[in-house]
Amino acid sequence: MCGIAGIIQKSEMQSDPFKRIRTMVAIMKHRGPDGQGIYLDQQASLGHARLAIIDPEGGIQPMSNEDDSLWLVCNGEIFNYIELKKDLEKRGHRFKTRSDVEVLLHLFEEHRENLLEHLNGQYAFAIWDRQRKNLFIARDHVGICPLFYYQSKDEFIFASEIKAIIAAMPSTPSLNIKSLIQTFTFWSPLPGFTLFEHIEQLVPGCYLTLEKGIQKVKRYWQLPFPETSTDMIREIEPACEQITAAMEKAVQIRLRSDVPVGAYLSGGLDSSIITALIKRKNNNTLCTFSIGFEDAQYDEKKYQSLVSNWLDTNHSFFYCKNSDIPACLENVIRQCESPLLRSAPVPLFLLSESVRNANYKVVLTGEGSDEFFNGYNIYKETKVRLFNAKFPDSNYRHLLFQRIYPYIDGRDQRGKHYWAEFFKQDLLTNSDPFYSHRIRWRNSAFIEQFLHPDIRAIWSEYDPVQDLKHITGNDLSDLNPMERAQYLEIFVFLNGYLLSSQGDRMLMSHSIEGRYPFLDPNVIALALKIHPNLRLRVLNEKYILKKAFASFLPKAIVSRKKQPYRAPIHSAMNREIIESWMSRERMESDQIFDPAKVDVLKTKVLSSQRPISAREEMALVGLLTTTMLLQNFIKQSLMSTPQINPVIFDYRPKSCHFKGNRNVAARLLFKEC
């Protein structure tokens, strides 16, 4: 993974963009510490911060085709580049490097925007056509790699991170209140939105063209749900065979690298499967990495050790202390560029630092399995609610929720009644496209009561679910309730939170590339083709994965109940961070939260005698991180800009010592124009 940036002026040379594009690249140096490059002509400026993984010596970007008419900057990997390159060479294309991303230039020459149909990878890239003055940018199918943009009447600016765009804008943008409300509802802004006015996000599975100042966005990929039930795989044995073969290939293709590749090992089923597949195909030393917690209720060290010993990996534990959470939270928000509702990204931020210190740049991880193989409790909830809706007056069917949440059984009658009533909400509205998630979204919106009256007034007039309905269009209309649940988890939660705040941003903060075999397009297509009853067998999540990989792993790993990854909140937040970031002075200045309501929450949090609820913990994190976002992005200038010495490819007339001579530019590596 890398960092990319660009400034496209709508008419030639309105202003010299060199300093701005250089600053944009420098701000993203953490994404690409191995070298930086800049391309300039009379209308376009492209920038690249490189994390060198494939062809470290020759894969310098920005990169051009044979006649320098097309210029590319890319963040990510094209995993099937070897196969693509062979075919392109047969068609007469000549390659300058061994880099995986050079195939994009030649595929674009062959297919223009249809090149995306040929890719197996994770990417956000831009191609500038110097002769036609056209820009083409695209983002991978599920949004592993980020891509943001800003457009004014004079120019179009894009980058891998928002902070780089802000640095190039004429003035600091204001907070987008609607996106804040979305975040407090869905845990992240909706696809296409950001927390900053006028800065947008390219939706996963889409590409954008800019031609003569006219911007068009088109979708090239969508979730491949089977058209009919007859297209589904219903038998266990063929399903196991096909998923094993698909996962073996997905893992193998993601081991293509000129630097060592490690793996995250959480102790759960998904990361254990990936680790086992790496070892089976490459029985050499494999380094695995995991998090241990001071707080025992979050710790999975015994399972991590069990898998590591079983598979004989060289395992490293990062031990997260409670005090690490508040100490790193502000830095995490600078990377996330969005508020959070839980503290889980912080240990992952520290884990990536630990991996980098071990001299690794690439890790394989297990994200995507829960979404596509029905591993989350929300799928079980939906299944039970649909079952209960057939006999809504039953006195017994609601007890099935105790199978999902065993601790309900141990509560008093008042607690049991609360949960029974909670899951009965909108029980019979199963034609609602948001049936699976609506009660969850209401629960997340608990934080509304702590908002400033002016913000609450906006919320009373704005329904974020209506915006989601507009974005999804007719996508949900032909899906059944369980498929809709999957769609929403993938389109909203996976893209907006897991692959962003908890994924790319935490990995790339320390220059680590994450690769996701379960998000291989072929694995996704196969997973959705496997009958739902094989993915979620009654209430046994990821049943087909357990069957397929039972012989690969210790029985204790295959049979263990899923433990969601979480991190401490209330027990970790010290008095110093709470009093500093939740002070009445700060609340009155920001005018986002109600100072009086915040004081009540603050008093309760600081009282060791009064436990706080899960919803109050979410409100606490949301309040702290929103305040940190305001302070770091809007109220003060961004973090200091690192020094860089980029390679420069300058095609502007009379402006540079080496007018477009690519060979000279390459020889002047780390020399500024």
Same domain, 54 and 180: yes
Sequence-distant (≥ 6) Cβ neighbours of residue 164 within 8 angstroms: 3, 5, 23, 24, 25, 27, 28
pLDDT of 656 reads: 44
Same domain, 87 and 211: yes
Q: Which residues constitute the domain of residue 256?
A: 236-373+494-559
Q: What's this model's pTM, rounded to 2 decimal places?
A: 0.94
Same domain, 329 and 254: yes
The b-or-e profile of 381-405 (16+ CB within 10 A means b, else e) is bbbbbbebbeeeeeeebbebbbebe
Would you say residue 587 lies in a domain?
A: no
How large a percentage of the chain has pLDDT more than 90?
81
Helix or strand holding residue 291 (H, E): strand 287-293
Q: From CA 17, how far away is CA 23, in angstroms rounded? A: 10
The answer to whether the bond into 62 is cis (omega within 30° of 0) is yes
Q: From CA 141, how far away is CA 569, in angstroms rounded? A: 33
3-state helix, strand, coil in the chain (%, to 5): 45, 15, 35
pLDDT of 667 reads: 32
620, pLDDT greater than 80: yes
172: CATH? 3.60.20.10
Would you say residue 596 lies in a domain?
A: no
Six-digit token string for 269: 């089923």
Render pLDDT for 119-149 as a digit per residue (tens, 0 to 9): 999 999 999 999 999 999 999 999 999 999 9
Averaged pLDDT, 256-281:
95
Q: From CA 31, how far away is CA 4, in angstroms rounded? A: 9
pLDDT of 669 reads: 33
Domain boundary residue among 508, 528, 559?
559
Domain boundary residue among 513, 534, 559?
559
Same domain, 67 and 200: yes
Q: Which residue matches tokens 């034609």? A: 431
Of 539, 492, 269, the residue nearest 377 (C-alpha): 539
Would you say residue 427 lies in a domain?
A: no
Would you say residue 314 lies in a domain?
A: yes
Q: Which residues are identified as catalytic?
A: 2
pLDDT of 564 reads: 87
183 or 444, higher pLDDT: 183
Mean of pLDDT over the chain? 91
Same domain, 143 and 248: no
pLDDT of 151 reads: 95
Would you say residue 586 lies in a domain?
A: no
Q: From CA 629, how far away is CA 4, in angstroms rounded? A: 23
Render pLDDT for 241-261 as a digit per residue (tens, 0 to 9): 999 999 999 999 999 999 999
Angle between helix 269-281 and helix 236-253 axes, rounded to 10 deg: 70
Q: Mark residue 192 as left, alpha or beta (left: phi above 0; alpha: psi -120 to 50; beta: remaining).
A: left
Q: From CA 282, how far away is CA 287, in angstroms rounded? A: 12
Q: From CA 85, how far away is CA 76, in angstroms rounded? A: 17
The b-or-e profile of 142-172 (16+ CB within 10 A means b, else e) is bbbbbbbbbbeeebbbbbbbbbbbbbbbeee
Q: Helix, strand or coil for residue 58?
A: coil
Averaged pLDDT, 502-521:
98
If pLDDT is split at 50, 70 and 90, which confidence band does 664 have? very low
Q: From CA 669, how far away is CA 49, in angstroms rounded? A: 13
- Number of H helices and E strands in the chain, helices first, is 28, 20
Which 8-state DSSP code applies to residue 496? Answer: I
pLDDT of 673 reads: 29
pLDDT of 417 reads: 63
Q: Mark residue 659 as left, alpha or beta (left: phi above 0; alpha: psi -120 to 50; beta: remaining).
A: beta
Same domain, 308 and 193: no
Domain boundary residue among 511, 539, 559?
559
Same domain, 122 and 241: no
Identity of the amino acid at 652: R
Helix or strand holding residue 466 (H, E): helix 464-472
pLDDT of 20 reads: 95
Q: Are 592 and 627 in contact (CB under 8 A)?
A: yes
How large a percentage of the chain has pLDDT more than 70?
93
Q: From CA 453, how far away is CA 598, in angstroms rounded? A: 13
418, pLDDT greater than 70: no
Same domain, 111 and 246: no
The b-or-e profile of 481-517 (16+ CB within 10 A means b, else e) is bbbbbbbbbbbbbbbbbbbbbbbbbbbbbbbbbbbbb
Same domain, 214 and 240: no
Angle between helix 301-311 and helix 269-281 axes, rounded to 10 deg: 20
pLDDT of 414 reads: 56
Q: How far is CA 367 from CA 179, 207, 290, 341, 589, in A?
A: 25, 24, 14, 19, 39
Would you say residue 519 lies in a domain?
A: yes
Would you say residue 446 lies in a domain?
A: no
- Which segment of 56-65, 415-424, 523-532, 642-651 scores lowest on mean pLDDT? 415-424
pLDDT of 1 reads: 80
pLDDT of 671 reads: 31
Render pLDDT for 512-542 as a digit per residue (tens, 0 to 9): 999 999 999 999 999 999 999 999 999 999 9
Averaged pLDDT, 99-122:
97
273: CATH? 3.40.50.620
434 or 409, higher pLDDT: 434
Same domain, 328 and 353: yes
Would you say residue 434 lies in a domain?
A: no
Q: From CA 563, how far away is CA 299, in angstroms rounded? A: 10
Averaged pLDDT, 298-308:
94
Render pLDDT for 352-391 as a digit per residue (tens, 0 to 9): 999 999 999 999 999 999 999 999 999 999 999 898 888 8
Render pLDDT for 565-577 as a digit per residue (tens, 0 to 9): 999 999 899 999 9
Which 8-state DSSP code applies to residue 221? Answer: -
Which 8-state DSSP code applies to residue 11? Answer: S
Same domain, 257 and 162: no
Sequence-distant (≥ 6) Cβ neighbours of residue 218 within 8 angstroms: 113, 206, 207, 208, 209
Q: Are 527 and 373 in contact (CB under 8 A)?
A: yes
Same domain, 263 and 138: no
The tally of domains found in the chain comes to 2
Six-digit token string for 541: 């999540």
CA 326 to chain centre: 22
